Structure 1
Amino acid sequence: MKENKEKMANLERLNSEQKEAVTHGGGPLLIVAGAGTGKTTVITERIAWLIEQGLAKPEEILALTFTDKAAGEMEERVDKALPYGYTDLWVMTFHAFAERILHAHALDIGVPDDFRLLTQTEQWMLVRENLEKFNLDYYRPLGNPTKFIHALVKHFARCKDEEIWPGDYLRYAEGLRIDLDGMEAAGGKSKINPKSKFQIQKEGVDESEIRRLEEVSNAYHVYQQLLLDRNALDFGDLINYALKLLRTRQQILKKYQGQFKYILVDEFQDTNFAQYELVKLLAGENKNLTVVGDDDQSIYKFRGASVSNILQFKDDYPEAKEIFLNKNYRSRQNILDLAYNFIQLNNPERLEVKLKTQKLKLKTKELTKKLSAQIQGEGEVEYYQADDESDEVEWVVNKIIELKNNNQEETWNDFVVLIRANNQAEAFCNGLTAAQIPFNFVASKGLYAKEVVRDILAYLKLLDNYHESMAMWRILNLPMIKIGVEDLMEINRFAGRKAQSIFETLKQIGVLNRIEEETRRKAAKILSFLEKHTSLAKEKSVKEVILKFMEDFGYSDYLLKNSDNKAFSYVRSLIKKAEELEKRSVDKSLRPFLQMVEWEIEAGEQGDLSKDLEEGPEAVKIMTIHTAKGLEFENVFIVNLADKRFPSLERKEPIEIPDELVKEIIPGGDIHLQEERRLFYVAVTRAKKRLFLTTAENYGGKTKKKPSRFVYETGLGEKFQIQNPKSKINPKSQFQNPKIIEQIIGGAEKSKIELPKAFSYSQLKAFETCPYQYYLNFILKVPTEGNAVFSYGKTMHSTLQKFMSHWQIQAEGQRDLFGGAKEKTKNILPSWEELLKIYRESWIDDWYENKWRKDEYRKKGEDSLKKFYEEILSAPPKVIHLEKGFNLKIGNYTVRGVIDRVDSLSDGKVAIIDYKTGEAKDKGKVDKDQLLIYQLAAKEVFGWEVEKLVYYYLDNNTEISFLGEEKDLGETKEKIIQLIEGIMNFDFK
């Protein structure tokens, strides 16, 4: 009864249009959701409603999103909406979905199932390493042979968005060649292909243009072959190979069409042609497809085709129900009116107009996209035109200070400075720094510019070559070394006079009379570290070398003392790069890693950054408008609104796809200006209470800048023709709350640190063992050294998972072949040689103290697996699940886990097995908590009846089994709640 009331309460909180969308039964549904109208709420409540009504299980719903962040937020909200736990919720990006089904079925279309996914930079490096194979002429200028690699890689990605295969491109170029040759032979009268003839005449295609197209199509073919030769795919391949799989393997298509009873697509306006084709395939005849979109917020679409998907959806599903969400729960009405009046300048290339002019009959009331504010009151809108950039920055900073002082209930997180491009951020970062206002520049790139990363790279360069004097100079200037300026200059002068490296000078530092004794000691320490770490680098991974540098130099301690939590995330990102390289490279030494970084920088790559908007202390956000999509703030500053800055100058694609190959509907009018207007519309609709637009006449050039045309198109140019009085930044006089500064900059307050949304057993165990270590590992995420036991354990788990998975796949194949006859599938095990091969491929080579210990572990693993194989061969278990994930609700919290193996027993009950490396302990000393959590999940999430819980010890292939009583399960729940509440209360002492 209580649960039904909660469900009703959830629906009662929705408005009529939202409720109609959530409770839509079967068939296609189009939801046009304006900014701030609660589209994420509608999607998550619809998922919960479908499950609660018994229309689908969690694993029978597929929700596809545009970004990982959106997928994470949606899953978190579904988690809160469902009263019980769940398993295998398919809420993910298009690429993650395609990757998952390809890993399961890639072999069915001749693609290796252990493929590696390349980043954009890795694609660039692949082309660069194999440049000679591309036979480039037009796209390989002599002075800069790598100039067009980025353009080519981007072009290939765009082709894949349109599902244009290399063969399609080659045939197109060959067709033009045949027609041109035919026209020349017949005096300009070709009868071969009238359409291509028209294309040739219309576009003025000549011999040189056809050679260019042939070069591009051949390069595309070579690139695709290089990927396959290396067992690699790029992001576009994921979607296209998934399409190929489902189109050519009807049995697999039917499997997924049968599984996904309902499909939901978020940000539908930004999906590309190939992604939409995938959605239509999966929806099949059931057509239980819900798409949510808003053409006015389309800022990622190819050539501005913001309306094409929605119009195509209406053509594909003419019977689709249409619901328009226009009640806004974010902004004040005058801000919404400003945005709506502005975006209408994109007419007639908007959905609102298209539906009327194309006379498409609506099944609901006529569409209006004018948003209606549900929050009373008028918002503050202000425009400021500054003399120069410094004046603009000062005005923005002082306005932030003024608003913060006048609105004490607001936090720094309520302020955002929106920029059109990342290179516009520096002036505002400097201004906020001068005013001692905490800020976070949320950028997707820039890892290599971070101080800690530059320090690490400098040290690695030194280990590779002691005579890199620029790198040595940086190490001498490390904050934890602190060599005095006079000593630094003396060392530099001596090195220059003797024409030698700084390293050689440090070795001779005894002859420098004017050097402080403390400096001599520090020099000796640095030289000893160099010797020690050079030896380490010959045997260990780059990650191990980085962590040893951080430890020995006291860098990690320095960052902890200075509360620089962000720096740890930069170190993790750099280590991740090193680990990714090691996975694909035989040579795991420093040189290949440094070469990769050098090539990335040469390619214009700045290094990827994780965009953790909610991590760490509260801060003013500085971000691009693209990054701000989906976010909201009390106070929004849209800056640099000057001509040619915003709207920006149009930059056409260096290599465009021929129109004949494009499958989407390209809009008319000024495509670039329409795109920029949609971007500005997104920026304005981020504002809840206050919106500030700023520009300057001088940004350092010779001529004065005119205000952006957008200023006048909003009507603000005429309304605010006042020059605000200048006031230099003076934080002491204008900012009267130093206590807040101390809290924000000096350390992390409880409420301002992002805590986990869900907890695993390993997290809870770490907190129970040592709360402070938990704080370092899971809250600050300080990179730490691994150990041999961990590497070995991970190797064994991975090996068994892959081996048992191969066994399942072979058994399923036999069932399909022999109609499910049990006698045919009982003993179909991969061979011992296959298991050994999997083990060797899964081997993790890190953190063994020496080669002897590594070989000892390797031998132990082989012996254990041999015994395991013999045992399983003699008595094959009936395995029904491997790596079975779950989300379990305990009180108000969520516990996540992955069960290694679930076996079906003869009486219909199940056994839950968890693998352990090491030897079996005394049953009375076994920590039962992990398996008791799994038993709770089995009961409350899966509805299984458990007969036994098993720890399987691989070293001597023995088991310890038990089963939790109701009392044990109740105590486990209480213990989990107690541990989680300790974390939530920041009890990390």
Structure 2
Amino acid sequence: MKFVADFHIHSHYSRATSSELTFEHLHKWAQLKGVQVVGSGDLTHPGWLQEMREKLEPAEEGLFRLKEDVARAMQPEIFTACQQPVRFILSGEISNIYKKHDKTRKNHHVVFLPSFEAVEKFQTSLEKIGNIRSDGRPILGLDARDLLEIVLETDPQAYLIPAHIWTPWFSLFGSKSGFDSIEECFEDLTPHIFALETGLSSDPPMNWRLSTLDRYTLVSNSDAHSPQKLAREANLFNTDLSYPAMFEALKRRNLQTFLGTIEFFPEEGKYHYDGHRKCNICWDPETTRKHNGICPVCGKNVTVGVMHRVAVLADREEGAKPDNAAPFYSLIPLPEILAEAYNIGSTSKRVQQSYEYLLTHLGSEVAILQETPLEDIERIGGGLLAEGIRRMRAGRVKADAGYDGEYGVIKLFDDQERKSLTTQLGFFPGLPTKSAQKQNKQENVEDTVSPPGRGEGWVLESGDLTPLATHPSPLPGGEFLTSPCKKPCISVLKEDGVGSFLLSGLNPQQQSAALCTDTSLIIVAGPGTGKTRTVTHRIAYLISEKGVLPENILAITFTNKAAEEMANRLISLVGESLANRMIIKTFHAFCAMILREQAEHIGLDPHFTICRETDRHTLLKSVLPALKDQEIAQCLEQISAAKNQLLTPDASPTGDSPDFIAHYRKYETALKAYRMVDFDDLIFLTVQLFETQPEVLRSYQQRFQWIAVDEYQDVNFAQYRLLKLLKALDVNLCVIGDSDQAIYGFRGADRTYFLQFQQDFPDAKTLYLNQNYRSTQSIVAASRQVILKSPESAALELWSEVVSKTKLDIYHAPTYKAEAEYVVHEIEKMVGGTTYFSLDSGRVESHAEGSYSFGDFALLYRLGAQSQPLFEAFQRSGIPYQIAGQTSLYEYKDIQVILACLWALFAQDARFYLQFLARQTNKIEPFLNELRQSLNTQPVTQLIERIHNMISFDDLDEKRTERLKRLLSRAAPFGHNLQQFLEMTVLHKETDDYDQRADRVTLMTLHASKGLEFPVVFIVGCEETLIPYQREGKTYNLEEERRLLYVGMTRAQQKLILTCAKKRFLFGQTKQNPPSRFLQDIENALKEIQQRAGRKAGKHSKNNPQLLLKL
């Protein structure tokens, strides 16, 4: 007999699935859809197995049916024309996350078993490996090959089919974590794989491009997360209705028994094309290659879709068809066809009424779409519907491909065509007219869903739809729906003259700050309280509601990343054209802009070069060759400190040694001779300019009448003086920060300026942000207990609504190596362990253990020297990681040569760099002269490539090639603007090297972590001499060390682990230090002592005093 089978579905035990996924509703919807055999789904879950036993009974061999009394209760809900027998086959999906061949692999598989006894046996085997009770689709830290082995050992008729084999995440061939071949995954057990599930984003022709797949049967299933999604893809059989007969057909690939598949149009799948959903970037593979896979909006790697991945692995051209290929039928779900015809949503009441009308008169959905004569469809549904189905069957569709989790859209008509055909052909002649629907509106009031803002009994009709861009609909949390390709509309809705769009997402404290525009303002904002959000919404409010010109706004940050984030947020709030008219820069970038604009007033060439840190060392060494490297470094530190205090060599304090003053003077003379300025000069010279040229200062005061400064607690004297000069009486200054997060005293920063802001500007107002949106309340409470012990603390009352029973963990390791192994073990457990975290579900809160990706973890330490044992442990484990703030890209010699060439091109009198290049090669000058001819016509990336090709390096290894790619990637956004690119290479900070795109565990210093956040944070080395850091013979700032730990602790969103080691090898010495004194400041109720890694706890381990760390 011929029948339709949909093997891969889920139950209500799976996360992010419908509560209607019960056997009763599956029985009903299988008939409405036209499916005779339905997968049970979730066979690994003990609770679902219990429901199977309660509601199912054996039918044909290996198949089950709903018990008669249960089925009878559902019968009234099934239209007579759709009624047919339904059978269930025991199946379920399993997620495997594991490491293989030094890579993390994430695969999903559908397992089939012939009996309840086999299911029970299978569950017993899996429960020894992982948690199968928390999710209907469990995640196991188990190699796919080993899972297949367990399946084969369970029952002679147990089978495994790799699921949705092309999905970027969680699939056999996925671009993110899959393999390049089936053999690589299943090894010696590969012969036991006979079928592959294509998934929603691919169809058979795409799979036919791989000749290695010719020997497998291609199956398709709905992967339904609700009963209504059944049969969106399915399989067609012509066999006896039994478990053995179906699998025999799949194994033999007999076209007489396996008749092919029902398919989505693959473009409708949500991973068909490449792109970024949040950035509205959707690309075909060729476009992705042209952009080197980098999103132009956020600068991150785009998600590579199925089409791209197929093209990478394919050995055939498009259109190739292997012998014995099974047929397939691409269909569009009937509600979507109806929705397009009506030009309304597919879940609307009108669509639902029409859908039920069709099923009542014509039978099941699959039958209507695939085989019902068009004249019958036209008689019941009208000519427009018949024409749409005719086009669908002929493949005449228009597709907007899905990408990065966003479903695609398949269309049968354009708008004009639809209107014309509706008039010509008619639509649902048997349904009541619109006027009749209105007359009967009151009769249907109980069945009508009233949208927000509508009265009871309102009936949705196409003429009532309003474009979202005109009237956005509020979502929970105050966010608004807007059309993704429309320009943002500021202040769409008004409340008492206030832009509710800008204020609706802010809490009352944030709103007060955004609305405070009549005076200068200091915002005391604790960690995670929404600093950037508040400042950007305040700026947007100034533009949209107060009529402030963007050109009159200056926003200053401390890092390039912070400036970029602020700019991106403002683009989303006010649009790109307005945002680009503001100045959003770091202190140093802002001052570089001023010095180039006013170069003649300060005696500079507008094309002056900026001296990098390594160049400062070379420069000072050239004029003081007798000094040792360590002495050079110390002298440069002193010079930097002097400039931060705005001190010239002639104005140095009397306490400075004559040698230092002489060295400082020689250094300054050398800078001027080479027409260079150093990093600290940018602010130093700008302050000098403003102090000596009052008319220049006044021009900038008039230009920037609204100034916002981020992280004000970190300003030094030179930055403070700069802002004092810019702050005229008619200039509105808004600063935001937290004195408890002041951690840069060693660089000259002084939190005093934050604390005395009210004294400096008596007209200023002080506001507070107390609600932490980042961390759980327990993390907020523990970190606050640490900082409150400081006599210098501002004692800001922080709180969080994110409640979690998870305590702060403290682990005491016997050695620093054991500490590193513990961290690796904990991450492996949390990533590969117990609970599935669905990318598709949109969950962004409260990750359960086992739901993390590697990018969710950060390891923080006081000193870079602590990273070595961690680095070694991660290498052994195979967990991907990145060390942020280690060796900057710009410190490698090959990159320095390229940058020197670029500086020489930018400033023709760049003698310092010309001399440097002359030492590298004797043919540089003619080459640079040639390159200058096309300087203004070539983008920076082409200049870099030409320079790289010209220079002969000793070794063109893979690391050098990778560094070149990184440099090109950073240069690409600058286009032809060589000046801005060069300034970026000089002005970048340690945290700018942190790559948020990488799905890797991040290792970084506590200082580098400032401004970042991670779901899980480990702080290692929480022991005396490290936290607080105490160098022998050196004084240290105990309270700044306390603030540094506070900053580290408040980077954690959901879980915080502090570790210490009894023995630590550092700087050539083994030392034994007690746990940090700061740990004693955390009350016992908020912390939990962790047992020794790798040792199983006894029954009463929580009460075992030998396992407790005594603080």
Counterparts of 2:767 and 2:855, CA distance in 1: 33
1:380 equivalent to 2:807? Answer yes
Match of 2:636 in 1: 153
Distance, in Å, in 2 between the alignment partners of 1:671 and 1:146 is 24
1:267 aligns with 2:694: no
Is contact 2:614-2:891 (8 Å) kept? Answer: no
Q: Distance in 2 between matches of 1:454 and 1:79?
A: 34
Task: Rate the CA distance shift 1:46–1:672 in 2: closer, same or farther, 3 A.
Answer: same
Q: Of residues 87, 102, 106 in structure 1, which corresponds to 2:595?
A: 102
Determine which of 478, 492, 509 is the counterpart of 1:5: 492
2:122 aligned residue: none
Give the distance between the partners of 2:663 and 2:743, measured in 1 at CA. Answer: 29
Equivalent in the alignment of 2:793: 350
Q: Is the 1:422–1:623 Cα contact (8 Å) retained in structure 2? A: yes
2:966 counterpart letter in structure 1: S
Q: Is 1:714 equivalent to 2:1048 in the alignment?
A: no
Shift, 1:146, TM fit: 4.2
2:1048 aligned with 1:683: yes
Higher relative contact order (CA 8 A, sep 6+): 1
How far apart are 1:551 and its partner, in Å? 11
Larger radius of gyration: 2
Instruction: Show the 5 A alignment for 1:269-308.
Output: 269-302=713-746, 306-308=750-752
Residue in structure 1 matched with residue 547 of structure 2 by the alignment: 55
Structure 1 equivalent of residue 430 of structure 2? none
- State the match for 2:573 in structure 1: 81
Maintained 8 Å contact 1:573/1:609: no
1:254 corresponds, among 683, 687, 698, to 698
Say yes or no: does 1:39 pair with 2:482. no
> Does the 8 A contact of 2:743 with 2:1044 survive in 1?
yes
Compute the RMSD of aligned alpha carbons: 4.0
Q: Secondary structure of the equivalent of 2:808? A: strand
For structure 2, which runs of at least 5 residues remain unmatched after alignment? 1-469, 472-488, 494-498, 838-851, 900-919, 929-943, 981-985, 1097-1111
Contact in 1 for aligned 2:856/2:1014 (Cα 8 Å):
yes
1:396 is aligned to 823
Pairing of 1:580-619 with structure 2 (within 5 A) = 611-614=992-995, 616-619=997-1000
Q: Which residue pairs with 1:692 in the alignment?
A: 1057
Cα deviations by residue, 1:4-43 (Å, 9 ceiling, x for unpaired)? 3364133011011100111112221010000000000011
Q: Any conservation in 1 of the 2:555–2:707 contact (CA below 8 Å)?
A: yes
One of 422, 426, 434 as aligned partner of 2:864: 422
Task: Report the counterpart of residue 794 of structure 1 in structure 2.
Answer: none
3-state DSSP class of the match of 1:626? Answer: coil
Q: Does 1:431 align with 2:858?
A: no
Q: Give yes or no for contact 1:299–1:626 (8 Å, CA) kept in 2.
A: yes
Determine if contact 1:333/1:379 at 8 Å carries over to the other structure. Answer: no
Q: Which residue of 2 aligns with 1:112?
A: 605
Q: Secondary structure at the match of 1:351?
A: coil
Contact 1:565/1:616 (CA < 8 Å) preserved in 2? no
| Aligned ranges 1:358-369 → 2 under 5 Å | 369=796
Please, which moves more after superposition, 94-103 or 444-453?
Answer: 444-453
Partner Cα separation in structure 2 for residue 46 and residue 382 of structure 1:
38
* Pair 1:30-2:522 in alignment: yes
| Aligned residues of 1:711 and 1:717 also touching (Cα < 8 A) | no
How far did 1:652 drift? Answer: 8.6
Q: Distance in 2 between matches of 1:451 and 1:99?
A: 25
CA distance in 2, matches of 1:265, 1:372: 25
Structure 2 letter corresponding to 1:289: L
The 5-angstrom pairing of residues 145-544 of structure 1 reads 145-169=628-652, 172-173=653-654, 213-302=657-746, 306-347=750-791, 349-352=792-795, 369-404=796-831, 405-409=833-837, 410-445=852-887, 447=889
How many residues align? The count is: 542
Partner amino acid for 1:385? H
TM-score w.r.t. the length of structure 1 is: 0.50
Question: Which residue number in structure 2 is paired with residue 640 of structure 1?
Answer: 1021
Residue 90 of structure 1, CA deviation: 0.3
Distance 1:537 1:113, change over 3 A: closer
Partner residue in 1 for 2:619: 126
Cα 1:230/1:453, change in 2 over 3 Å: closer
Residues 1:569 and 2:987 are matched in the alignment: no
Cα 1:694–1:343 change in 2 (3 A) is: same
1:492-891 equivalent positions in 2, closer than 5 A: 546-547=948-949, 568-569=965-966, 611-614=992-995, 616-650=997-1031, 672-700=1037-1065, 701-715=1069-1083, 720=1088, 723-726=1091-1094
Secondary structure of the structure 2 residue equivalent to 1:319: coil
Taking a change above 3 Å as real, the CA distance of residues 42 and 652 of structure 1, as seen in their structure-2 partners, is: farther
Secondary structure at the counterpart of residue 371 of structure 1: coil
Contact 1:62 1:260 in 2 (8 A): yes
Question: 1:66 touches 1:266 (CA, 8 Å); kept in 2?
Answer: yes
User: Do the aligned partners of residues 220 and 581 (structure 1) sit closer, same or farther apart at CA in structure 2, a change above 3 Å counting?
Assistant: farther
What is the identity, as a one-letter code, of the residue corresponding to 1:111? Answer: L
SS of the equivalent of 2:1008 reads helix
Whether contact under 8 Å (1:394, 1:727) holds in the other structure is no
Q: What secondary structure, in the 3-state scheme, does the structure 1 residue paired with 2:1025 have?
A: coil
| Alpha-carbon contact 2:808-2:1087 (below 8 Å) kept | no
Deviation at 1:66, TM superposition (A): 0.8
Mapped to 1, the partners of 2:765 and 2:896 lie a distance apart of: 55
1:68/1:92 contact within 8 Å kept? yes
Offset at 1:699?
2.1
Deviation of 1:223 after TM superposition, in Å, equals 2.0
Q: Deviations over 1:854-885 (max 9, x none)?
A: xxxxxxxxxxxxxxxxxxxxxxxxxxxxxxxx
- Mark the CA change 1:90 to 1:651 in structure 2 (over 3 Å): closer, same or farther: farther
| Aligned CA distance change for structure 1 residues 270 and 305 (closer, same or farther; 3 Å) | closer
Q: Does the aligned pair in 1 maintain the 2:557–2:586 contact within 8 Å? A: yes
Contact 1:60 1:261 in 2 (8 A): yes
- Cα deviation 1:97-144 (Å, max 9, x = unaligned): 111111111211323333211112211111110116xxxxxxx6xxx6
Structure whose residues are more often helix by fraction = 1
| Structure 2 counterpart of 1:695, one-letter code | C
What CA distance in whole angstroms lies between the structure 1 residues aligned with 2:575 and 2:979?
Answer: 43
Q: In 2, distance between residues paired with 1:44 and 1:229?
A: 42
Q: Distance in 1 between matches of 2:718 and 2:603?
A: 20
Deviation at 1:159, TM superposition (A): 1.1
TM-score norm. by structure 2 comes to 0.45
Alpha-carbon distance in 1 for matches of 2:1092, 2:707: 53
Distance of aligned partners of 1:256 and 1:448 in 2 relative to their CA distance in 1, 3 Å threshold: closer
SS at match of 1:406: coil
**Corresponding position of 1:802:** none
Question: Please, which moves more after superposition, 626-635 or 29-38?
Answer: 626-635
SS at match of 1:279: helix
**In 2, distance between residues paired with 1:566 and 1:25?**
46
- Amino acid paired to 1:350: S
CA displacement at 1:73 relative to structure 2: 0.8
Change (3 A) 1:302 1:401: closer
Are the structure 2 counterparts of residues 699 and 155 from structure 1 closer, same or farther at C-alpha, using a change threshold of 3 Å? same
Does the 8 A contact of 2:1019 with 2:1059 survive in 1? yes
User: How far apart are the structure 2 equivalents of 1:249 and 1:534?
Assistant: 44
